[in-house]
Amino acid sequence: MQVTPPRSLTELFLGFLAIGARSFGGVLPWAYRTMVEERRWLTQADFAETIGLCQGLMVLPFIWVMALGVLYLEWASYPVVRAVVTGVGATGAGLFIGTALKLGKALVRKPAALVLVAGCFLTVGVGRVSMLIVMPLAAAIGIFFARRGWL
């Protein structure tokens, strides 16, 4: 079978949007249908290898989370355990912020991107508006900005 990669980011976005919209109860059949049969982005072998790799990446984190959850249920009343969990949460937040800053370096020279980032932060963080509302709105604004050449 001839594989044809997506011609644009829009085509890729729309493909995954269609997969997500039809995937109630399980994404795998729809992902296969879209990526292998309809759009021919991957061969059957490529799809199987990719799924295997992706599922393999989740095994150890899943085991860690389950083991730590069991341990936490047993020892949650100890102050040192609560302190460790608080520290791990702060570490995770720090890693997230660090990654956001690295990814955001390219945005510094784009005022429209900074406006969008600040708007999202203020709307969700300060205004407490649900991300279910903010994300589609931010995506629409981002598309508008990109079409104007501002991003």
pLDDT value of residue 51: 86
pLDDT tens, per residue, the chain with 151 residues: 788 888 898 998 888 888 888 776 678 888 888 899 999 999 998 998 888 888 778 888 889 889 989 999 999 999 999 999 999 999 989 988 898 888 788 888 899 999 999 999 999 999 999 999 999 999 999 999 999 999 8
Helix axes 59-75, 44-57, angle to 10 degrees: 20
Distance CA 96, CA 125 (A): 15
- What pLDDT, on a 0 to 100 scale, did the predictor assign at position 25? 67
Residues in the chain: 151
pLDDT at 28: 84
Instruction: Say how far apart CA 98 and CA 113 lie, in whole Å.
Output: 18
- Interatomic CA distance for residues 74 and 83, integer angstroms: 15
Provide the 8-state DSSP code for 124.
I
| Contact of 147 with 112, CB cutoff 8 Å | no
C-alpha to C-alpha distance for 150 and 112, rounded to whole angstroms: 6
pLDDT of the residue at 99: 85
Q: Given this model, what pLDDT does residue 3 score?
A: 87
